[in-house]
Structure 1
Amino acid sequence: MSASTVPASSWDRVRGYAPPPRYLPVVATFALFVGLYGVGGMRYEGLSDPQVLLSLLLDNAFLIVLAVGMTFVILTGGIDLSVGSVVALSTMIAARTLELGWSPYLSIVAVLLTGTLLGLLMGVLVHYFQIQPFVATLAGLFLARGLTYLISVKSISITDPTFTSLAFKTVYFGEYYLRWTAIVALLTVVVAAFVLARTRFGRTVYAIGGNESSAVLMGLRVAATKVGVYVISGFCASLAGLLFSLYILSGNSLHAVGMELDAIAAVVIGGTLLTGGRGYVLGSLLGVLVLGMIKTIIAFDGTLSSYWMRIITGLLLLAFVVVQRFATRRQR
């Protein structure tokens, strides 16, 4: 038997494996996260504790859910600037309705319904009225933020016993723990990943982002899908608002200022193209974890200003956008 016909060993196959090009951005984000965790663990005592990783999920559960909804929108080539204000509105609706004596479950339904309806409004404006997503969702940003001031200009504490018990409901894994809000966030990622990868709706989302005209010619349900992604984004924003209100136990019209930019940054750092058509919710999850790890390292250091978080995020975002630009040029 000649050397050319000798079957490769398992090690050779593993050593020579290269992931498909479409997964490279997610792999790069994962490598960045592992690198940050490794460097931080070597530099700061206690940062390598597994509970730090679980705390990243706990402290960023609301941003994970927000980034999931934003991923759907960006995959179609759109943007949603209203989500941060919808988060604030959701905290205010939850706090005010509970203050008025509503059932916590009825309050949750009211929050989710409000976010979904606002998302539907954004989707209708974008598709049927042909308004640019930036302009339509900017209007949604001002609308949602204005509604928070109509509810109250002051912070409203959440003291309902059922709601607060939900906030502190914890799942233990031996000596480590995770609150159920983080589990909700992870379940959201799983459901979203399934929808994008295994359903006709998900395939249509990618087709619209790739070339909307071609998607129309192929007979895909472009109108329903374009409106649908904004509905999903609105629902995720309201769910993120619920998780945020459980995290902070208050409603405030000044909550979540700029959080929509954090969500966009996480999605882009996670490898989703701003022009649409390519990206994964797993990448968005990793993008959130990267931002969370940067914040954690700054907190462990203790000497760095919180402004460094914005500086580093900006540099990372710029780097990923430039890499995306060169990658898309090479593939043309």
Structure 2
Amino acid sequence: MSAAITTPPAAPTTSRLERVRQQLLSRADSLPTVAALLIFVLMLGYGEFAYGRIFQLSTVSNLFINNAHLIILAVGLTFVIISGGIDLSVGAIIALSSVSGVMLANAGWNAWLVIVVMILIGSLVGLASGVLIQYFNVQPFIATLAMMFLGRGLASMLSTVPVRLDEGSGILLLGTKIKIIDGPKVNDLVITPGVLLALLVVIAAFIILHRTRTGRTVYAIGGSEQSASLMGLSVVRTKLFIYVASGTLAGVAAVVYTARLGSAQNITGIGWELDAIAAAVIGGTLLTGGFGYVLGSVVGALVLGLMNVLITRDGGIPPEATTIITGGILLIFVLLQRAVISRQRE
């Protein structure tokens, strides 16, 4: 009589739901960036449903043209925040750089030389911040706050009234609209050299931050500066690079903004450092440092830009409410970041 053949019980398998949960947990750091992209898409859908004419080439064109300077600023702040620092001087750099540039251009200086000077002004302010932070152990908040007051004061000494570029200035060429697609009526897809410059900044920053040793060092410093030093990473040089890069990009943003507007004044850029920080945070950059995406910051800047478009289209929302809405969105993303961090620690 043959013995009964028994089949061993099948090994328990992880359910599909559990596998999805594990995958989400493994990529929890990217959830704020995904949320920002989702909000951007929902804002587009709401705008089209409520006001119409959002899904148009002209709307997309204006969104990028009007926010090219903010995208550039947000990219610079991404480096700073990932390293665990902060830079409050970028708005003042724009004021000082733009006023100086317009005055030099109107004095007869070559346009390209003026552009170089405007960018170098940002680089020098960023270098001063980096030196104070690295060699004098000044907290980034205090060092960049001091540079903010210095830059704003110097801009006010140069001029307290708006100054306009001469109509023939070569700087205005960076704000010239170039038609890419000729749509019906005024629904054209256009760009400016300023937008192309912002695109180049984004590409270069993405490569540096995500594909080079310098970028890995930026993340390491944000995670633990002491550990980064013990690993033999070039902490000093990288921290100087971070603040010089932030100041330099603020100078580039000043060039782009001045070329688009054709004028400058000492109050230009007030609060823009907070907008750039908000864009980076909305895009998924952790305020505690150690994590962030360049492309996420671009999405964050576009979210803020689209919010202004929708408020303008609505007509019933006062412009002052923009800061309230921005604060609310920022608070939501900060809380989301806290939830992600707490979940990872568990």
Q: RMSD of aligned C-alpha atoms? A: 1.8
Is 2:127 the counterpart of 1:120?
Answer: yes
Q: Please list, as runs of the form range in 1=range in 2, the aligned pairs for 1:56-135 lying within 5 A after superposition.
A: 56-135=63-142
Amino acid at match of 2:89: S
Residue equivalent to 1:7? none
Residue equivalent to 1:29? 36
Residues 247-288 of structure 1: per-residue CA shift (max 9 Å, x gap): 211120011111111111111111100110000011110001
Which is worse superposed, 59-68 or 318-327? Answer: 318-327
Residue equivalent to 2:3? none
Decide whether the 8 Å contact of 1:26 with 1:271 is kept in 2: yes
Residue equivalent to 2:284? 271
Is 2:312 the counterpart of 1:304?
Answer: no
Amino acid at match of 1:324: Q
TM-score of the two chains, using structure 2 as the length reference? 0.89
SS at match of 1:60: helix
Amino acid at match of 2:129: M
Whole-angstrom distance in 1 between the partners of 2:254 and 2:156: 16
Larger Rg: 2
Whole-angstrom distance in 2 between the partners of 1:213 and 1:121: 23
Residue equivalent to 1:172? 180
Whole-angstrom distance in 2 between the partners of 1:188 and 1:124: 24
Whole-angstrom distance in 1 between the partners of 2:75 and 2:139: 21
Decide whether the 8 Å contact of 1:270 with 1:284 is kept in 2: yes
5+ unaligned residues in a row in structure 2: which ranges? 1-9, 11-19, 184-188
Q: Please list, as runs of the form range in 1=range in 2, the aligned pairs for 1:7-22 lying within 5 A after superposition.
A: 20-22=27-29
Residue equivalent to 1:233? 246
TM-score of the two chains, using structure 1 as the length reference? 0.93
Is 2:152 the counterpart of 1:137?
Answer: no
Whole-angstrom distance in 1 between the partners of 2:177 and 2:49: 32
How big is the shift at 1:177? 1.2
Decide whether the 8 Å contact of 1:98 with 1:160 is kept in 2: no
Whole-angstrom distance in 1 between the partners of 2:329 and 2:174: 35
Residue equivalent to 1:38? 45
Which is worse superposed, 158-167 or 222-231? Answer: 158-167
Q: Please list, as runs of the form range in 1=range in 2, the aligned pairs for 1:180-219 lying within 5 A after superposition.
A: 180-219=193-232
Whole-angstrom distance in 2 between the partners of 1:121 and 1:160: 34
Amino acid at match of 2:227: S
SS at match of 2:339: helix
Amino acid at match of 1:224: R
Is 2:270 the counterpart of 1:252?
Answer: no
Taking only the aligned residue pairs, the percentage that are identical comes to: 45
| Cα distance, 1:98–1:312 mapped onto 2, change above 3 Å | same
Whole-angstrom distance in 1 between the partners of 2:124 and 2:171: 24
Decide whether the 8 Å contact of 1:92 with 1:148 is kept in 2: yes
5+ unaligned residues in a row in structure 1: which ranges? 5-13
Of 143, 163, 166, the residue aligned with 2:171 is: 163
Matched pairs, number: 320
